[in-house]
């Protein structure tokens, strides 16, 4: 599990460039920006704005979309493609360990997700205080890291892009849709409280509405428990299967 920071930095820059050229992998983040702009415009022109806080709803939807759907896709698809097409071996020398490869795959993905999560703040019309922005950034990063761990594990397990899509869709949809529909039904709202995306979505909603936030024992158990669980699953899968990038 040894790795060198210089090699990780070099490979991370390469992976960042490749990610920006991989339409299938980054479409989620692009869609998050488009959805935020479109939702804000449509809701401001409709009667919905009289019933809900538009900036809060739009930001929350964009955050969940980007930090769940895009984060899972942006790690799982490139890893699977590299395994399927041997792209990495044709572009770099055979001196990288599988640990260095994984770190270099997650780092640029996290940066892209992080930047988009910051960009959708002004696009949604939200004005945070510094403290609220800092809390939002921490919560958004936790959501993104949990999803990146899921995506990385799926990428390691899958050998074909089609299989990756089949695995990720059933995982992504509940994590995105349930928090978004929590106002529709008390049952959906209750289920949302047992998902890391649902709890973080609730806290961000309170931040946008200038309410104080606090975490109950259940909140901490769900958010941190699922964060560590996802990274634990990723670690087990990585240790068991690994990624052979040198032959």
Q: Do the domain assignments include residue 173? A: yes
pLDDT band at 88 (very low <50, low <70, confident <90, very high): low
In a 13 Å sphere around the CA of 127, the CA atoms on its Cβ side amount to 0
Structural contact between residues 179 and 69, judged by C-beta atoms closer than 8 angstroms: no
Is 240 a residue whose pLDDT tops 50? yes
Mean pLDDT of the chain: 86
For the record, the structure tokens of 195 come out as 């998902």
Q: Do the domain assignments include residue 28? A: yes
Q: Classify residue 60 as left (phi > 0), alpha (psi -120 to 50) or beta.
A: alpha
Residue 50 is predicted with a pLDDT of 55
Q: Do the domain assignments include residue 221? A: yes
Q: Do the domain assignments include residue 247? A: no
What's the domain count of the chain?
A: 1
How far apart are alpha carbons 70 and 89 in whole angstroms? 26
Token look-up 């001196």 returns 95
CA 55, 60, 65, 66 dihedral sign is positive
Residue 51 is predicted with a pLDDT of 65
Q: Do the domain assignments include residue 52? A: yes
Q: Where are the beta strands (DSSP E) in the chain?
A: none
Q: Do the domain assignments include residue 85? A: yes
| pLDDT tens sequence across 194-205 | 999 999 999 999
> Rounded mean pLDDT of 173-179?
90
Residue 212 is predicted with a pLDDT of 85
Q: Do the domain assignments include residue 246? A: no
Structural contact between residues 65 and 35, judged by C-beta atoms closer than 8 angstroms: yes
Residue 246 is predicted with a pLDDT of 44
Residue 244 is predicted with a pLDDT of 53
| pLDDT tens sequence across 104-155 | 889 999 999 999 999 999 999 999 999 999 999 999 999 999 999 999 999 9
CA distances to 138, 182, 208 from 215, rounded to whole Å, are 14, 19, 17
pLDDT band at 247 (very low <50, low <70, confident <90, very high): very low
Domain extent, residue 15, equals: 5-241
For the record, the structure tokens of 66 come out as 């980007």
Q: Do the domain assignments include residue 183? A: yes
CA 125, 130, 132, 136 dihedral sign is positive
């Amino acid at each position: 599990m040894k790795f060198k920071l210089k090699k990780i930095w070099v490979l991370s820059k390469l992976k960042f460039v490749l990610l920006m050229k991989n339409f299938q992998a980054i479409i989620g983040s692009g869609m998050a920006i488009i959805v935020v702009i479109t939702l804000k415009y449509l809701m401001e022109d409709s009667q919905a704005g009289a019933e809900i806080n538009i900036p809060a709803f739009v930001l929350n939807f964009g955050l969940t979309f980007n930090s769940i759907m895009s984060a899972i896709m942006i790690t799982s698809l490139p890893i699977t493609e590299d395994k399927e097409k041997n792209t990495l071996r044709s572009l770099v020398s055979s001196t990288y360990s599988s640990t260095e490869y994984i770190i270099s795959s997650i780092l640029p993905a996290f940066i892209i997700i992080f930047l988009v999560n910051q960009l959708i703040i002004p696009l949604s019309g939200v004005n945070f205080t510094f403290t609220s922005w800092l809390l939002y950034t921490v919560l958004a990063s936790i959501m993104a890291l949990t999803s990146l761990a899921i995506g990385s594990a799926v990428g390691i397990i899958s050998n074909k892009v089609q299989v990756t899509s089949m695995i990720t869709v059933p995982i992504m949809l509940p994590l995105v849709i349930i928090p978004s529909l929590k106002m529709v039904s008390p049952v959906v709202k209750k289920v949302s409280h047992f998902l890391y995306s649902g709890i973080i979505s609730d806290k961000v909603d309170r931040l946008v509405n200038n309410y104080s936030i606090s975490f109950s024992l259940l909140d901490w158990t769900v958010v941190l428990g699922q964060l560590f669980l996802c990274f634990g699953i990723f670690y087990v899968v990585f240790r068991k299967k690994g990624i052979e990038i040198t032959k």
